[in-house]
């Protein structure tokens, strides 16, 4: 086989491989995944158990914050940090400001475990995160829980 034929075959192979990669990239680009509610509902119930005791409130906040981040990732919101993902999701969230306050509180508790928490602040943060999880489709809407 001549060198020109070998070069032509290699060139054709590179072109074919490039086309396959491009086609696969577009074929695999799909709509964002819907989080599996069953898994999120189970985790949400687990973290609600932390609310019963004041000493485990920080765990409840951190668990809720991590659960929200997982839902953001599952829904396909891009970002290197949770803050970036929250920014990209703000049009989907019912109460963006409350979610940010909850995230900041969870982050503060994570960075300083000695942070004193007030019951009302914890409740508001968890309500905001719970609503955000509903907005993202990770938890059933209130109407779905009562009607179905």
pLDDT tens, position by position, 112-148: 989 999 999 999 999 999 999 999 999 998 756 544 4
Question: Same structural domain for residues 67 and 94?
Answer: yes
Parent domain of 11 = 1-30
Decide if pLDDT at 54 tops 50. yes
Report the number of distinct structural domains present in the chain: 2
Tell me what percent of the chain is helix, strand and coil, each rounded to the nearest 5.
75, 0, 25
Question: Same structural domain for residues 20 and 53?
Answer: no
Question: Same structural domain for residues 16 and 62?
Answer: no
* Confidence at residue 148, expressed as pLDDT on a 0 to 100 scale: 45
Question: Same structural domain for residues 118 and 55?
Answer: yes
Question: Same structural domain for residues 26 and 44?
Answer: no
Work out the average pLDDT over 36-51. Answer: 91
- The CA dihedral of 114, 117, 122, 124, to the nearest 10 degrees, is -130
Q: How confident is the model at residue 35 (pLDDT cuts 50, 70, 90)?
A: confident
Percentage with pLDDT > 90 across the chain? 67
| Predicted TM-score (pTM) of this structure | 0.75
Work out the average pLDDT over 38-62. Answer: 93
């Amino acid at each position: 086989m001549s060198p020109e034929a070998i070069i032509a075959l290699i060139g054709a192979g590179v072109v074919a491989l490039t086309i396959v990669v491009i086609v696969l990239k577009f074929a695999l680009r799909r709509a964002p995944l819907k989080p599996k509610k069953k898994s999120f509902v189970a985790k949400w119930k687990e973290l609600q158990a932390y609310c019963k005791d004041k000493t485990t409130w920080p765990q409840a906040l951190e668990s809720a914050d991590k659960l929200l981040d997982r839902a953001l990732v599952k829904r396909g919101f891009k970002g290197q940090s949770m803050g970036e993902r929250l920014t990209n999701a703000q049009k989907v969230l019912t109460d963006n400001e409350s979610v940010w306050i909850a995230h900041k509180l969870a982050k503060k508790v994570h960075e300083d475990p000695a942070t004193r928490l007030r019951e009302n602040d914890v409740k508001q943060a968890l309500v905001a995160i719970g609503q955000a999880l509903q907005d993202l489709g990770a938890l059933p809407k209130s109407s779905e829980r009562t009607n179905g």
